[in-house]
Structures are given as structure tokens and as C-alpha cells.
Structure 1
Amino acid sequence: MTFWQKLKGRTQSPPRVGGWEIFWSWLASFLGLAAVGILHFKYLDPQGMMFVIGSFGASAVLIYGAIRSPLAQPRNLIGGHILSALVGVTAFRLFGQEPWLAGALAVSTAIALMHLTSTLHPPGGATALIAVIGGDSVHNLGYGYVWMPTALGAFVMLLVALIINNLPKNRRYPEFWW
């Protein structure tokens, strides 16, 4: 098969989801991100939103909108974010004087480790990159970034996913734990 033949794809697009699926995905993502935001704004830091890292938006798409995806399962959500945060902080500490290098190493190493540990979660790449490019508010956290906002935020989102995704009869989450 040639390079150009590979670019044509193999299958058709999946069918559109129904209105109720859209509603439940919307509700779950709203409640999950609102829970993380309220926890931060009301109890941690009313001035900033450090607890709400950008990669949580992408996690919301997976754990509330693509709940059957292997990439959306609890092991992937929690493990992918924690490993990636560890890698990102380490890359910044070792190579932060060259942010282009630290960022590239953080993301690529996070991907490799997520593959090795069967915790691949695409938003983890952003979590690693945020540890490098997040500025002083992130850098000052050091390895604390791994636990708060990353791990705690992911656990809050998981708790919401476990509740909301299992309310309707036709939705079930998770597909597997480990």
C-alpha cells in the first residue's frame, strides 16, 4: 500500500449520536468542570483558576462524551494525568532553560510512559506540556503540580463521570478499571 493510498482511510465515519447522548454528555461535562472550578474558586484560590488546567477540557470530551473509548477509562484518566504531570515537572526542572526542548521531551516521554503502562490518555500530553510552559504559577508548585491540580482534579472529574454516566439506562461507565 502506498503512502497516498493510506491517506484515503479505511472505513466510513461513525453515525451521529442521538439527542439524549448529546444531552448527557453536555450535562456531565458541565458538572465535572464546574465541580473542579467550584472546588478551586471557593476553597483554594478565589483569584486564580490554577486548579482548572487546560487538559481537563480534553479529558471531559473523553470521559463524558466518548465513555466507551479505552482512552476514557479510569486507569487512563488518572494514570495518564499523573504520569504526564511527573514527566512534565521533571522535564522543566532538568531542561527548563530551553523550553522548546523541555516541552518536546515532556510530551514525547509522557506518551512513551503512558504506552508502557497502558494508561494512554491524550490530554496527558497537554498536562505534561503545561508543566513546562505554564509560567510561574505552575513552576512554583514543583512536584505539587502532580497532586494539585492534576491528580485531585482528575479524581473529581472521575467521580462526576461515575455518577452522571450511570444515571441513564443506555449509558455505562467505566468499561474497565484496570
Structure 2
Amino acid sequence: MTFFTKMRGAGTRPPRVGAAEIGWSFLGAAAGIAAVAFLHERVADPAGLSMLIGSFGASAVLLYGAPKSPLAQPRNLIGGHVLSALVGVTVRLAIASPDWLACSLAVALAIAVMHATGTLHPPGGATALIAVTGGPKILALGYLYVLFPVLSGALIMLLVAVVAVNAAPNRRYPEYWL
């Protein structure tokens, strides 16, 4: 018997979801990302701001694909992103070099802050990392990054999640607000 077969649950698979769940997840994610992208294209980008960051793709997986997850609840979504953005910008401003140190501290501190505040949201780690490694447009935002794209985009995705998830007959979001 190998190590992997001795592991608890070895040989079993997680339960699969049905076609309806896949369809509702697809529709919610498409609507949430479309709303943020549309507002980015029409409002934010012409004003020299950004509303799109990669970590929103991971948030979409949680919000629309696993809306019952504690990590997908509003407190975690908003708090996790905003606190991680604050940490990321602060680290970037405090440690300009070496990059490896700024990157590692931004992510590690973001995780610690999210844990300490009860706002753990895994995409928040990417939000902190983007604050440090983002292109010139993101880096030029400074603390404005916390508002645009982070807070504004997360709030839009939250509003879409409340509508899209609750449109499905057997789905409910949020499980709790705070």
C-alpha cells in the first residue's frame, strides 16, 4: 500500500454538481465579470482608472460557483480584498526593493490580517500581490488602488451575486452578511 492510498479518503472523489448548478454558476460569473469589465471600459478606463484585476476571477469562482462557502460571504469578499489591497500598497511603498521580499511580505501579511479580522478570502492574496507587481497603471494609483479597482469591483460583484445566485430556485446568497 502506498502513501497515497493510505491517505484518508484515498480513491474517493468529491461530489460533482449537476447541470443546473453549472449553468447558474456560469451565468453568475459571466454577469459579474461582465458588469465590472463594462464599467471598467466605459467609466474607469476613460478616467485613467482601472476596475479589473486578476483576483476578481478567483472571487467569481467562490461567489458564483460556491456561494455557500464561508470564504465567499460578503464580509470575506469585501474585507478580504480591501484589507489585502491596503497591505499590498503599504508594503509596496515601504519596500521598493528587492521585489521578492515585497511580494512575499505583501501576501503573508495580507493572509495574517485577513485571519486576524475574520475576513479570509483567498483571492485577497492575489489582490495584495497585484498591488506590488501590477503594471505602471496599477502602481501609479497608490492607495487609490484600494477604491478603484478593489472596493468598487468587489461591490459590483457582490451586487451581481445577490441577484444572480438568488435567481436560481435552489440557491441562496449570502448565507450571512457579517
The two structures share one fold, judged by TM-score above 0.5 = yes
* TM-score (norm. length: structure 2): 0.92
Q: 1:168 offset after TM fit, Å?
A: 1.5
* TM-score (norm. length: structure 1): 0.92
Q: 1:13 offset after TM fit, Å?
A: 2.8
Which range moves more in the overlay, 94-103 or 76-85?
Answer: 94-103
Q: Paired residue for 1:138? A: 138
> Contact between 2:67 and 2:174, CA under 8 Å: does it hold in 1?
yes
Q: Paired residue for 1:71? A: 71
The whole-number CA distance in structure 2 between the counterparts of 1:43 and 1:51 is 9
- Secondary structure of 2:168's partner? coil
The whole-number CA distance in structure 2 between the counterparts of 1:102 and 1:164 is 37
Which range moves more in the overlay, 13-22 or 116-125?
Answer: 13-22
1:39-67 Cα offsets, whole Å, 9 max, x none, are 01011215988311000000000000011
The whole-number CA distance in structure 1 between the counterparts of 2:141 and 2:34 is 23
Kindly tell me: are residues 82 and 6 of structure 1, through their superposed partners in 2, closer, same or farther at Cα, counting changes over 3 Å?
A: farther
The whole-number CA distance in structure 2 between the counterparts of 1:9 and 1:162 is 36
What pairs with 1:24-39 in structure 2 (closer than 5 Å)?
24-39=24-39
Kindly tell me: are residues 116 and 172 of structure 1, through their superposed partners in 2, closer, same or farther at Cα, counting changes over 3 Å?
A: same
**Could you say which structure has the higher helix fraction?**
2
Kindly tell me: are residues 118 and 175 of structure 1, through their superposed partners in 2, closer, same or farther at Cα, counting changes over 3 Å?
A: same
Q: CA RMSD in A?
A: 1.9
Q: Paired residue for 2:103? A: 103
The whole-number CA distance in structure 2 between the counterparts of 1:129 and 1:9 is 34
Number of equivalences: 175
Unaligned residue ranges in structure 2 (runs of 5+): none
Q: Paired residue for 2:22? A: 22
Unaligned residue ranges in structure 1 (runs of 5+): none
> Contact between 1:41 and 1:49, CA under 8 Å: does it hold in 2?
no
Q: 1:5 offset after TM fit, Å?
A: 7.4
Q: Match for 1:93: what amino acid?
A: L
Identity over aligned pairs, percent: 58
Kindly tell me: are residues 111 and 48 of structure 1, through their superposed partners in 2, closer, same or farther at Cα, counting changes over 3 Å?
A: same
